[in-house]
Amino acid sequence: MMVARTVEIDDAIRAAPSPQLVILGAGLDGRAWRMFELRDVAVFEVDHPDSQRVKRARAFSLPRAAREVRFASVDFERVSLDGALAAAGHDPEQPTTWIWEGVVMYLALRHIEATLAVIERRSAARSRLIVVYHTPAWMLPLVRIAVRRLGEPLRSSFTAAAMRALLARHGFAVSRDENVPEIAAALSSELGHAARIMTHLRIVTADMVRAP
């Protein structure tokens, strides 16, 4: 599952180069340190302050692949994403690639909408948004039980049509939306077999078609 997710998102970044990359809920994401395609890109890592302290300590001595990495500390349910990005130097007049991986399913719809509103306002023409989300599927109730026991209850899921409509309301047109088994199977039969039950997990790529 993680191989398919990583390859799909990396390919989407390469396919539409932007001078800015914003990773929402960056965690221990390593793209700024491993993707040479980001050598001319300013990477903005957005995450909770506690997570960023761990990340910065671990990454301190690592050579960067990106031109620069800027950290913006945000609790998505309490702190202004718009203000944090502005303070970090994000330029809404320049195209941006946005990665929203492993976060949306833990947010209520009102918080998803609020974040998308900020993304819309700060997305110039030729900006791209990549979102990993959950969709109703037979596996989802089992996942819901497992993550609740870990203290991370799931709060949202969308059909592909509902996600397309949601993104369209914020100026983005979907160019690709597939579930993880489909993505994995296109990489190899072995990966496809290993990820075959992950039908609840989808990755959508959308491009800004309306000027903010």
Does 212 have pLDDT greater than 70?
Answer: no
Look at the domain 2-208 and name its fold.
Rossmann fold (3.40.50)
Q: Provide the whole-model pTM.
A: 0.94
1 residue type, one letter: M
At 174-188, the pLDDT tens digits run 999 999 999 999 999
Helices 160-169 and 109-121: crossing angle, nearest 10°? 50
Quick one: how far is CA 85 from the chain centroid? 15
Phi, psi angle pair for 43, to nearest 5° = -100, 125
User: DSSP string of 62-122?
Assistant: SPPSSSEEEEEE--TTTS-HHHHHHHHT--TTS-EEEEE-S-GGGS-HHHHHHHHHHHHHT
At 103-146, the pLDDT tens digits run 999 999 999 999 999 999 999 999 999 999 999 988 888 888 88
